[in-house]
Amino acid sequence: MKNRILAGLTVICLVLIACFWPGKDENIAKDADKKEAQAITQAETESLARNIILYDQAGKAHKIKDLYNKKPVYLLVWMPWSELSEQQLPVLETLYHQYGQRVYFVILSLGRDDTDVQSFLASHDYDLPFYTTDIENAAAYTISEVPESIMIGQYGQIRERRQGCINQKELSYMIEKGQQGQN
């Protein structure tokens, strides 16, 4: 009698297990779904570059948006009193000659009427495109230290930010990476 009860309970348990076994849950995300969600999340959280007015050495105004809508922009915020900024410029000069056709270089100092910038540029012979902007634009890019390098991809996505002086190899990699995905 006990054996029949145990056998009956075993059969009932096996039937219940077979009927209610969870199997493959269709609500569990597949790898492809996870990758798609990551791409969407990344696109939604990418930081876009603010559109600020730049002034070239002739005093002509340019919108940075007009530049990054054409091709990627390497932006260096620098000041002439910063030794690290001064060390960064020769490295940029080399890379400007290498990448200048594919990437806009914007070497930006803060403060439009800075006589230190003018005297620095007069005493150095760089081919780099130097710009100035109003000091308030430092807040638009949350600049807290100079030099600061910002790689802006085509159409305005900020791809990378780095503070301090960057060696040529790292800076070249930053610029190469910033060009990825451009049309």
Domains of the chain from N-terminus onward = 48-179 (3.40.30.10)
Tell me the two tokens of residue 55: 């002034």
For residues 118-154, one letter each, b for 16 or more C-beta atoms within 10 angstroms of the residue's C-beta and e for the rest, the string is eebbeeeeeebbbbbbeeebbeebebeebbbbbbbbb
Q: Give the model's pLDDT for residue 36.
A: 66
Q: What is the pLDDT of residue 180?
A: 83
pLDDT single digits (tens) 133-148: 988 877 888 888 999 9
Instruction: Give per-residue pLDDT as tens, 23-55.
Output: 655 555 566 666 666 665 555 556 889 999 999
Q: At 170, is the secondary structure helix, strand, or coil?
A: helix
Q: pTM for the whole thing?
A: 0.73
Cβ atoms < 10 Å from Cβ of 82: 16
Per the structure block, which two tokens stand in for 91? 């490295």
Residue 154 pLDDT more than 80?
yes
Distances in Å between the Cα of 93 and the Cα atoms of 15, 34, 60, 96, 152 are 77, 42, 22, 5, 19
Least confident residue range of 101-105, 133-137, 175-179: 133-137
pLDDT in tens, 60-83: 999 999 999 999 999 999 999 999
The reported pLDDT for the residue numbered 9 is 82
